Amino acid sequence: MVNYNEQLNEKLLGYNSNTNIINEETYKVIAGQTINTIANALSKSLGYYGSTTVIEDNSFNSFVTKDGYNILKKIKFDGSISTSILRFIMGISMELVKEVGDGSTSSVLVARDLYSKLQSELSDGKLEYYSRKEISNALNDIVKDISEKIKEQAVEINEDNFDVLKSIASVSNNNDEDLGELVYNIYKEIGKEGFIFPELSSTGEDYYEITEGLETSFGYEDKVQANQPNGFDLLFKDPMVVCIDGAVENVDNIDNHFLIRLMEEVCVKLGKPLVIVAHSYDHEVVKLINTNILSNRHKGGHHAVNPELKVALTRFDKNRPEEYKDLAAFLGTKLIDKPWEDQEVFYENAVKLMEEDFNTFRMNYIGQAETITMDNNYSKYIEGKGSGTEKVEERIKLIDREIDYINQKTEENNDIQLYRLEKRKNNLKGKIAKLFVGGTSETDAKAREFLIEDSIFACRSALKHGYISGGNLIIPKVADQINYEDELKSTLLDIIVDASKIVFRTVLTNYARYDEDKIEDIIDECIENKEILNIKTKKNEKDNETTIVNSAMTDIRILEASISIIGLLVLSNQYLTSTPVD
């Protein structure tokens, strides 16, 4: 009798079937090696005495940094699994930095320690009889409980303690106190609702400019329109502004007629400077305006509308319609619709209305500002008539709703979109600062710009959520307030508390003054006495007195990021590659 099972087994012995399935045992080995490699690369940079990393960029130039996220971005692996894990960690770290300005290195170190401890408990410890779902749910519950305890201890930033921002800004940028104080000084001027945008300095020096209104990235249309002694700048006091949603072109002479009549009404009869904003202008329109400006400067040639004519043309990007509406709202007006394909709309709604009832036209379509300044690159509209009005507040609320919606779409990289929305909102609030970051070279300036961004994000988070002290030991300090009867949660809480100590342990290790036993004694003493060792002063400081502070959300977000990483590494049971492997 033929044994078909034996025949089948003999055939399979010579059969090699490649698959894209990486089993759990192999995946866990690769995952462990990957997280360990990443953590080792980051750990030496942590803390006041952390070392720097020299990074070679694609053009074979080098720059030096202590910033964990910038180191993380430059790490590479050959293997697809390690690369996938790295990208996942980078995505989490980027969200972490953008929200609290710090924590990339800390989250990876905590994740590695959690990974090691959880793996051990899953294999032959207290967790081996629990499902992955039960463990995941318990971890999420513990994170929520710890977060609530941290939030309860958060201190709101107000006028009395505003100088705490100086410490927050410095701690978050690897203890560059000069940069920290610079960020703090700006916030003193713009207040809690203000917003700082860093840019590279053209002078090599650090400096900042406060914009007390709305700024656009378009200047005057032609240098002839500049009216300051230096020949480059334009300054209008109490100007009127018309915003046209379309191109201004001399089609059937309608546009020229409109502009001449507008200058007569605003510049001659009212004696006000006039700014016209549109998407574009043709040569004939610019020539018309410039001819009138030059004629008036020469004291009344026959082309002149008025000897004191003050008028300027500027643009607005047609691809950013919502921002154009922001500008109109800030100025206390609305856009004049000028569709390219239908001049009749423009004539009926604007030209005809202005001719028949200028007061109604003015009420609907002319905005004002206290001051407008321009050069060939930028325009600043200061103290617009609509600033603080209900219409502007409605636009701010609309932007906030859009920000909330985008923040819920965690599967996408939305940093640029969120950045623009925040800038729009703070433009409308009229509180914005440009911080120009200098350095000994462009590479140095870029590295310092990253540090400035960390300070800004950390301060924004603290201003929103309050601050807390604890020096990387806040989780063990609040954990004694949490008691679980449930054995699973109790075990996991102990693991989280123990893993969270790794951050301060690494800071002390990089300080290179204490052996391992002494470091553990210091950590235990700090937790027990609610204090922190300040390695700059070499003294223990009470939590309520120390300058080692950060946003209340920092440790919460670090813990959440660590748990997210663990979810990928520990709680997965296999990995599917994009293509089969040998």
Give the model confidence (pLDDT) of 255-276 as tens digits.
Answer: 888 899 999 999 989 999 999 9
Question: Which DSSP letter does residue 380 get?
Answer: E
Question: Which DSSP letter does residue 350 get?
Answer: I
The pLDDT of residue 231 is 79
Q: How many CB atoms lie within 10 A of CB 207?
A: 12
Q: In the chain, how many domains are there?
A: 3
Average pLDDT on 23-52 reads 87
Could you report how far apart the first and last alpha carbons of the chain are, in Å?
37
Tokens at residue 228, please? 């300051």
The pLDDT of residue 252 is 64
Q: Is the model's pLDDT at 110 over the cut of 90? A: yes
Rounded (5°) CA angle 346-352-353 = 95
The domain boundary, picked from 430, 445, 462, lies at: 430
Average pLDDT on 281-292 reads 90
The domain boundary, picked from 331, 359, 387, lies at: 387
Side-chain-side CA neighbours of residue 368 (13 Å): 12
How sure is the predictor about 1, in pLDDT bands with cuts at 50, 70 and 90? very low
Rounded (5°) CA angle 158-159-165 = 70
Tokens at residue 435, please? 């911080």
Is residue 565 within a helix (H) or strand (E), and if so which, with residue range?
Answer: helix 552-569
Question: Which DSSP letter does residue 547 get?
Answer: S
The pLDDT of residue 301 is 44
Residue 52 resides in a domain: yes
Tell whether the torsion through CA atoms of 238, 244, 250 and 254 is positive or negative: negative
> CA–CA separation, 344 vs 396, rounded Å?
33
Q: Among 412-416, 468-472, 475-479, where is mean pLDDT lowest?
A: 412-416
The pLDDT of residue 10 is 47
How sure is the predictor about 318, in pLDDT bands with cuts at 50, 70 and 90? very high
Question: Which DSSP letter does residue 347 get?
Answer: I
Residue 466 resides in a domain: no
397 & 366 share domain: no
Residue 170 resides in a domain: no
> CA–CA separation, 314 vs 37, rounded Å?
54
130 and 488 in contact (C-beta within 8 Å)? yes
pLDDT tens by residue, 111-134: 999 988 888 888 777 787 888 889
The domain boundary, picked from 371, 387, 403, lies at: 387
CATH number of residue 251's parent domain? 3.50.7.10
Tokens at residue 189, please? 């001027």
Residue 82 resides in a domain: yes
363 & 251 share domain: yes
Average pLDDT on 80-85 reads 88
476 & 371 share domain: no
> CA–CA separation, 494 vs 471, rounded Å?
19
Per-residue DSSP letters for 269-326?
Answer: IS---EEEEESEE-HHHHHHHHHHHHHHHTT--TT-S-TT--EEEEE--TT-HHHHHH
Residue range(s) defining the domain that contains residue 30: 16-155+471-581
220 & 359 share domain: yes
Q: Which residues contact 362 (CB under 8 A, 6 or more apart)?
A: none
Is residue 362 within a helix (H) or strand (E), and if so which, with residue range?
Answer: helix 358-365
Per-residue DSSP letters for 204-252?
Answer: SS-EEEEE-EEEES--BSSGGG--STTSS-EEEES-EEEEEESEE--ST
Largest CA distance in the chain: 119
342 & 319 share domain: yes
SS3 of 59, please? coil
239 & 383 share domain: yes
Residue 319 resides in a domain: yes
- Classify burial at 389, counting beta carbons within 10 Å of its beta carbon; exposed 0-12, middle 13-18, buried 19 or more: middle
568 & 518 share domain: yes
> CA–CA separation, 92 vs 69, rounded Å?
10
The pLDDT of residue 15 is 46
Is residue 577 within a helix (H) or strand (E), and if so which, with residue range?
Answer: strand 574-581
119 & 234 share domain: no
- Partnered with residue 155 across adjacent β-strands are 467
pLDDT tens by residue, 56-71: 766 566 777 878 888 8
SS3 of 390, please? helix
484 & 543 share domain: yes
Residue 10 resides in a domain: no
258 & 369 share domain: yes
pTM of the predicted structure, to 2 decimals: 0.67
Residue 65 resides in a domain: yes
Residue 515 resides in a domain: yes
Q: Is the model's pLDDT at 348 over the cut of 90? A: no
Q: How many CB atoms lie within 10 A of CB 238?
A: 13
Tokens at residue 444, please? 């140095």
354 & 485 share domain: no
Q: Is the model's pLDDT at 491 over the cut of 90? A: yes
Tell whether the torsion through CA atoms of 222, 437, 73 and 136 is positive or negative: negative
56 & 89 share domain: yes
407 and 90 in contact (C-beta within 8 Å)? no
323 and 243 in contact (C-beta within 8 Å)? no
CATH number of residue 37's parent domain? 1.10.560.10
